[in-house]
């Protein structure tokens, strides 16, 4: 099995499949009706809600099912902001939140609200004190993911929740990546999650709103799911989601220990197998099955295709794989290398043999992509006084860094290289290259086109 993208969507758990098929026969009726078929459907829905609430650690009447994790986030943020509009319109998010949170923040800001984005360290974690500093008298809501979806870093939710609680501000936790491994610690106020992240069917999300939290559902509502998720419940999928959550929790401790050993194997061996690699994310406080690394001089999309041909499905935060040609906002916020980025997220049941085969084919895949990229274009390098100028205008990641690497030896120690680039990824990748290669990144300078990145040769 070479599917290594469980953080995007985990394979359907066998328990979820069984529950889904069974509830297709038993749970097709309207659970709001009083006749026999409706009562049977209601019993299934109530049992699913009880199982999910037990896994979350909340009251049954605090949890509703939504049509997706993204819908849960949008509904939760909008409802909490509206419920506390008399307090103010200030929203706090971290710089590495899932796009569903950041998109909600954009909508809030466009509507006249204010947003504070809390930075992260190079490992991808926030400082609880920074959340405390961001809290204001008009703060209506704070948001923080329990663990990052791209690099696996776990966030200090309990400490941040404590700061928010002291200030009387509710904290919404996006627990999509972590809920399958265990409940979220801390005195949080709202929580969201998505079933397809733990092996349930897609199209089922959870939204938990603690009692006492002011909440005003936005948009048209009806009598279903406490008015917070209108529309007919997808009962078979909900039953399967709850059943699979209970199943993965039962095996979480043993599976987490096993997957941690496998991801530590990848973290430790990749830098020795592939030159010029940066392993990113917190080395200790991290999800069990996620490991992320970036490879210098590699086109991310090309590398993903090479690995796919070898039978491995992985994802990437590289700008090379994005239609916008900008690096992942997570990698950018962390200030780490983005080019040639690979996220390996092992699913439940991944074997040591799968990992060993991946480690065996990775070096050849990377070297093949690097070889195909070739040398810099002839005539791209000129001299301006004592500065070597590399014209990489119009070239995309990772070409500007490759061309820099090829000419750094042509200047004396203490000499400067000026790289011209109009690729947004260069702003992240050139400083990261300097740190990895022991060269000095001087900074940016204005240019007629694009931006000039200045590097001083140290060794």
| Burial of 382 (C-beta count, 10 Å sphere; 0-12/13-18/19+) | exposed
| Burial of 229 (C-beta count, 10 Å sphere; 0-12/13-18/19+) | buried
Which of helix, strand or coil describes residue 442? strand
227: left (phi over 0), alpha (psi -120 to 50) or beta: left
Give DSSP secondary structure letters for 107-118. Answer: HHHHTT-EEEEE
Cis amide prior to 398 (ω within 30 degrees): yes
- Name the DSSP letter for residue 319: G
Instruction: Round to whole Å and give the CA distance between 98 and 115.
Output: 15
Kindly state the tokens that stand for 38.
């409706």
Phi, psi of 384 (to 5 degrees): -120, 105
Instruction: Round to whole Å and give the CA distance between 281 and 183.
Output: 22
Instruction: Report the Cα 81 to chain-centroid distance in Å.
Output: 23
- Name the DSSP letter for residue 95: T
Phi, psi of 5 (to 5 degrees): -135, 45
User: Which residues are annotated as catalytic?
Assistant: 320
């Amino acid at each position: 099995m070479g599917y290594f993208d469980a953080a995007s969507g985990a394979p359907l758990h066998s328990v979820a499949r069984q529950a889904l098929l069974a509830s297709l026969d038993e749970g097709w009726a309207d659970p709001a009706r009083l006749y026999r078929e409706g009562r049977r459907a209601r019993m299934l829905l109530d049992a699913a809600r009880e199982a999910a609430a037990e896994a979350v650690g909340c009251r049954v009447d605090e949890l509703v099912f939504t049509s997706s994790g993204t819908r849960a986030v949008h509904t939760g943020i909008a409802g909490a902001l509206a419920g506390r509009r008399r307090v103010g319109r200030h929203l706090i998010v971290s710089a590495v939140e899932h796009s569903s949170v950041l998109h909600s923040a954009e909508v809030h800001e466009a509507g006249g609200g204010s947003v504070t984005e809390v930075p992260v360290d190079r490992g991808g974690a926030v400082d609880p004190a920074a959340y405390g500093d961001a809290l204001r008298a008009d703060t209506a809501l704070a948001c923080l993911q329990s663990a990052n979806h791209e690099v696996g870093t776990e966030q200090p939710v309990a400490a941040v929740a404590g700061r928010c609680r002291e200030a009387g501000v509710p904290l919404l936790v996006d627990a999509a990546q972590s809920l399958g491994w265990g409940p979220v610690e801390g005195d949080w106020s709202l929580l969201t999650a998505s079933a397809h992240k733990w092996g349930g069917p897609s199209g089922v999300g959870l939204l938990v709103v603690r009692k006492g939290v002011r909440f005003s559902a936005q948009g048209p509502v009806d009598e279903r799911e406490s008015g917070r998720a209108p529309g007919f419940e997808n009962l078979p999928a909900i039953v399967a989601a709850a059943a699979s959550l209970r199943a993965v929790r039962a095996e979480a401790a043993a599976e987490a220990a096993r997957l941690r050993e496998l991801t530590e194997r990848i973290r430790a061996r990749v830098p020795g197998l592939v030159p010029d690699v940066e392993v990113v994310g917190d080395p200790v406080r991290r999800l069990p099955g996620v490991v992320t690394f970036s490879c210098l001089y590699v086109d991310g999309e090309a590398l993903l295709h090479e690995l796919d041909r070898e039978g491995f499905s992985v994802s990437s935060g590289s700008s090379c794989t994005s239609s916008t040609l900008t690096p992942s906002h997570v990698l950018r916020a962390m200030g780490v290398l983005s080019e040639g980025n690979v996220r390996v997220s092992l699913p439940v049941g991944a074997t040591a043999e799968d990992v060993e085969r991946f480690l065996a084919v990775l070096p050849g895949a990377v070297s093949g992509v690097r070889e195909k990229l070739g040398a810099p274009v002839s005539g791209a390098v000129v001299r301006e006084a004592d500065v070597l100028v590399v014209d990489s205008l119009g070239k995309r990641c990772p070409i500007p860094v490759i061309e820099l690497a090829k000419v750094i030896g042509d200047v004396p120690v203490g000499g400067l290289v000026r790289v011209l680039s109009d690729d947004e990824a260069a702003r992240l990748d050139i400083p990261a290259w300097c740190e990895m290669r022991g060269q000095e990144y001087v900074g940016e300078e204005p240019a007629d086109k694009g931006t000039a990145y200045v590097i001083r040769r140290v060794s």
